[in-house]
Amino acid sequence: NAGVTQTPKFRILKIGQSMTLQCTQDMNHNYMYWYRQDPGMGLKLIYYSVGAGITDKGEVPNGYNVSRSTTEDFPLRLELAAPSQTSVYFCASEGEPSTDTQYFGPGTRLTVL
Amino acid sequence: ELKVEQNPLFLSMQEGKNYTIYCNYSTTSDRLYWYRQDPGKSLESLFVLLSNGAVKQEGRLMASLDTKARLSTLHITAAVHDLSATYFCALGKFYFGSGTKLNVKP
């Protein structure tokens, strides 16, 4: 049982490049989330999903896209990377929001130069 | 504008002392969460508080919720060095406070 895994751990992008951050969970959780954390700050929700095929925007969705074709995977796509997207990205999952624990992945540290 | 404000932002305390971290929020919500983050690490869920008057305890940490005052507290009892971390409160899963960085000195 690996929990929530994220790849890559680190990445440096040039301005205008694109990339996909991968997130996989093996707990059969319906709810999955993508957050970003800027230095010294709390997390900001980018997108979330309540099940396969269903996604919705969070607080800061601009510049990102997601898909949820399976229960296990919730990739985050960055199109046309900008320096403002330099951050640490965390993926999280949970079974039921009111009763279950939210589990976080180890994070992806992204730098856009 | 929805706000989640924590105070203090930094807290340095001696082992064995008690202290409280405050989390004020600007709108009603049915769920208030507390998390812990060690330096350079991911987040760990600590508590979820679902109703007015809810109290949860785990070891030396106790969280409570007053929905009328829009206030949650995280109380630390007889602090130990291992509790040194940054603690976040969050309204629902959407809105996080800026965190309280706790340093417990031996």
User: What's the start-to-end Cα distance of chain A, in Å?
Assistant: 36
Across chain A, mean pLDDT equals: 94
Show the CA angle centred on residue A38, arms to residues A107 and A62, nearest 5°: 90
Provide the pLDDT confidence category of residue B50 given band limits of 50, 70 and 90: confident
In this prediction, residues A8-37 reach a mean pLDDT of 96
Mean pLDDT to the nearest integer, A84-105: 89
What is d(CA B31, CA B18) in angstroms, rounded to the nearest whole number?
A: 26
Separation in Å, CA B71 to CA A60, A84, A97, B82: 25, 32, 20, 26
Computed on alpha carbons and rounded to an integer, the radius of gyration of chain A in Å comes to 13
What is the rounded CA–CA span in Å between residue B45 and residue A97?
12
Check A102 against B4: CB less than 8 A apart.
no
**Cis-peptide, bond into residue A8, ω within 30° of zero:** yes
Nearest to A45 among B42, B93, B99 (CB): B93
Give 3-state DSSP helix, strand, coil % of chain B, rounded to 5. Answer: 5, 55, 40
Q: State how far residue A52 is from chain B, nearest Cα, in angstroms.
A: 19
pLDDT in tens, B58-105: 999 999 999 999 999 999 999 999 999 999 999 988 899 999 999 999
Mutating which of A5, A32, A35, A43 best tests the B interface, going by the most B Cβ atoms within 10 A?
Answer: A43
β-strand pairing of A87-94 with A103-104 = antiparallel
CA atoms within 13 A on the CB side of A90: 22
* DSSP-derived pairing of the beta strands A76-78 and A64-66: antiparallel
Chain length of chain A: 113
Contact residues on chain B for A41, CB-CB shorter than 8 A: 98-99
Q: Are strands A108-112 and A10-13 parallel, antiparallel or unpaired?
A: parallel
Q: How many beta-carbon pairs below 8 A join chains A and B?
A: 45
CB contact under 8 A, A58 and B94: yes
pLDDT digit string, tens, across residues A50-87: 999 999 999 999 999 999 999 999 999 999 999 999 99
Contact A40 B44 (CB under 8 A): no
Q: List phi, psi (to 5°) of B99.
A: 100, 150
| pLDDT higher than threshold 70 for residue A98 | no
Give the number of other CB atoms < 10 A from CB of residue A86: 17
Question: Which pair of structure tokens corresponds to residue B91?
Answer: 């309204």
